[in-house]
A and B are shown apart, each in its own frame.
Chain A
């Protein structure tokens, strides 16, 4: 599904503050894999994810999605495959727009946004139905601006929005970092259910080692811009939670 070949990313090349954020990463991610990436700050995980999403271009190396070389494709052109959930709930939703408007845009992620009015009663009902699965009581508030909701509610909605249109890859960049423990749990559970239900290929970046232990079919440890450990499903299930904590010891 995703083929990352010897990717490097250097910021401020040739200057005293040069940073080698990603230093030769090669990864093959199968369709349906749920990859969790852990690593300390500055280990290059977010930069790697941004390169998969297309918001940062690699300095060298190549990235293939679904057998197609997308290395030079900009982020908005990768939207037919990729949906994203950001660390900051503000980045994944538009605060001033209503929940309904946000969902409308998400529902046409892979399509051109034309000069027709797409919001009708059928669509409203579809959105209400989807939102009611969260059990947050938000289905009656779809006309409300997104900005009136809490961070946890917004992240949960962003997750739902990602599967409104056909989606193959879900990128989650510390989706629960800004949330309280309870909301974080709801968001992670929702993510896990959606990934299973829609058989998504997912990459999750997290600093929460419990989440890294509980979720995902494959676990990767990054450091200094490189893949230090790569555990497949069997190796991961053999792993004990304490072993994971020891990696950061």
Chain B
């Protein structure tokens, strides 16, 4: 039971990243590799501020601002300097590695015996259940905010930017600015993922972000498969599916480890799993058409 609860907790942490990737990839059609760096940045800012005994109301805005700035820089490089989005993301991610290391001063900060988000509120005597409920509430609030934003006029303009740029420019929207804001929001969400995960696992490590973008992509792709299959247009249902995707993804990883696969091969298994989800619908379409 605890095994699956841990998986669920990890899935909830990563669903923040999945929401970020949903915005950058699904809404803006931008493959955003900044994710690896902004996720770690979120965790680093959390660790540094927590060990300096800063309160939550300072840490949370700091994490969000950090991620947003990282995303905005990628957006700026992509739109204003006309650099390919993939390369822009890689550049910022690479630079963030140094920034993160510089902020931490070493490659690992343990968060044992510091008060965290999970010691702040007590809803259950069991530590794991306590974590679960807090995370569930946290993710519910984020999802509500993202969902609400997507339903506003601004959100519709955002969705149209990734869909028909010529149209939305003709309707008076500065698409460059919109992309910069979008990537800022996406990376702020990703940083929140790092904020949550570092407190769940009790440490921040400089290499914790490596390959995290794949997990986000995998979660969104799982959600997308269901969205396309059931032809879902509801914003709320789509967001719920993205979160479900993140949890399913963690389940697959957990089961892989549970059946005795060497953790060394975990990233390879992850990559193959994402490849499978991406390619299966295409293969079945080909054979039927």
Verify A118–B160 contact, CB threshold 8 A. no
Verify A101–B172 contact, CB threshold 8 A. no
Segment among A38-46, A64-72, A89-97 that sits at the interface with chain B: A89-97
Known: A86-B166, A94-B167, A95-B164. A105 touches B156 (CB 8 A): yes
**In this assembly, does B154 line the interface, its C-beta being within 8 Å of a C-beta of chain A?**
yes
Segment among A7-15, A73-81, A179-187, A220-228 that sits at the interface with chain B: A73-81
Residues of A within 8 A of B169 (CB): 55, 75-76
Residues of A within 8 A of B164 (CB): 90-95
Binding site of B, secondary structure by majority: helix, strand, loop or mixed? helix
**In this assembly, does A218 line the interface, its C-beta being within 8 Å of a C-beta of chain B?**
no
Minimum C-beta distance from A53 to chain B (A):
7
Residues of A within 8 A of B157 (CB): 105, 113
Residues of A within 8 A of B173 (CB): 76, 113
Minimum C-beta distance from A178 to chain B (A):
15
**In this assembly, does A238 line the interface, its C-beta being within 8 Å of a C-beta of chain B?**
no
Within 8 A of A (CB), among B149-171: 149, 151-154, 156-157, 159-160, 163-164, 166-171
**In this assembly, does A56 line the interface, its C-beta being within 8 Å of a C-beta of chain B?**
no
Residues of A within 8 A of B171 (CB): 76, 79, 105-106, 108-109
Residues of A within 8 A of B160 (CB): 94, 97, 101-102, 105
Binding site of A, secondary structure by majority: helix, strand, loop or mixed? loop
Residues of B within 8 A of A104 (CB): 153, 156
Known: A53-B170, A79-B172, A92-B170. A108 touches B153 (CB 8 A): yes
The range of chain B's interface size is 20 to 34
Minimum C-beta distance from B155 to chain A (A):
8
Q: How far is the CA of A90 from the CA of B148 in the complex (A)?
A: 27
Count, chain A residues at interface, CB 8 A: 39
Verify A145–B233 contact, CB threshold 8 A. yes
Minimum C-beta distance from B224 to chain A (A):
12
Verify B170–A118 contact, CB threshold 8 A. no
Taking Cβ atoms with an 8 Å cutoff, the residues of B that contact A are 148-149, 151-154, 156-157, 159-160, 163-164, 166-175, 233
User: Can you list 8 residue pairs at the A/B interface with Cβ under 8 Å?
Assistant: A74-B174, A75-B169, A93-B164, A105-B160, A113-B152, A113-B173, A114-B152, A117-B151
Taking Cβ atoms with an 8 Å cutoff, the residues of A that contact B are 53, 55, 74-77, 79-80, 82-84, 86, 90-98, 101-102, 104-106, 108-111, 113-119, 143, 145
Question: Beyond the given A86-B166, A97-B156, could you list 14 further A-B residue pairs with CB under 8 A, ordered by the A residue number?
Answer: A76-B172, A80-B172, A86-B167, A90-B164, A92-B167, A94-B160, A94-B163, A96-B163, A98-B233, A101-B159, A102-B160, A104-B156, A113-B153, A115-B153
